[in-house]
């Protein structure tokens, strides 16, 4: 019996995320009182695009923005789900002043 592959295109989602982050942060420097707005914009752009796919999935998008000044960090995620239908992608983006990590998880209903 063929097991159906996860029903979303990972490459397409990665492109969506990179475009959302790039268009929001671009060449910005780290401005503390703008960060929350940037994060909201990135996540809303990603979620809107995902929701348009009209597939039977739930989506979780998480976004972290950090000042790129040398402090160390590490992010790990783990999951308990159906690997035939559920999956995730993590996108790292940075410029000289900002580090941004966006993770998108999709889970079949």
Partner 1 sequence: MEVSEPNRTISNFRQTKVKNIMEEVLREKLTGATYHPDNTSQWTREIADEIKQSLKLQDMDRYKYVVQVMIGEQRGEGVSMSARCFWDHKRDHYVQKTFQNETIFCVAVAFAAYYY
CA 1 to chain centre: 33
Nearer to partner 1, 62 or 95 (CB): 62
The whole-angstrom separation of Cα 53 and Cα 90 is: 19
Tell me the three-class secondary structure of 15-29, residue by residue.
HHHHHHHHHHHCCCC
Nearer to partner 1, 23 or 77 (CB): 77
Q: Are strands 87-94 and 57-67 parallel, antiparallel or unpaired?
A: unpaired
- Residues at the interface with partner 1 (CB under 8 A): 30, 32, 35-36, 39-40, 43-44, 47, 50-51, 58-67, 69-82, 86, 88, 103, 105, 107-109
The whole-angstrom separation of Cα 38 and Cα 35 is: 5
Rounded to the nearest whole angstrom, what is the least distance from the CB of residue 22 to partner 1 in the complex?
Answer: 18
Rounded to the nearest whole angstrom, what is the least distance from the CB of residue 3 to partner 1 in the complex?
Answer: 17
Rounded to the nearest whole angstrom, what is the least distance from the CB of residue 31 to partner 1 in the complex?
Answer: 9
């Amino acid at each position: 019996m063929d097991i159906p592959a996860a029903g979303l295109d990972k490459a397409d989602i990665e492109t969506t995320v990179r475009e959302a982050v790039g268009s929001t942060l671009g060449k910005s420097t780290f401005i503390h009182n703008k960060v929350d707005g940037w994060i909201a914009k990135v996540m809303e752009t990603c979620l809107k695009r995902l929701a348009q796919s009209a597939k039977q999935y739930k989506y979780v998008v998480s976004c972290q923005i950090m000042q790129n000044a040398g402090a160390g960090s590490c992010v790990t995620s783990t999951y308990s789900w159906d690997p035939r239908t559920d999956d995730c992608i993590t996108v790292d983006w940075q410029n000289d002043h900002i580090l941004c990590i966006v993770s998108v998880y999709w889970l079949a209903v």
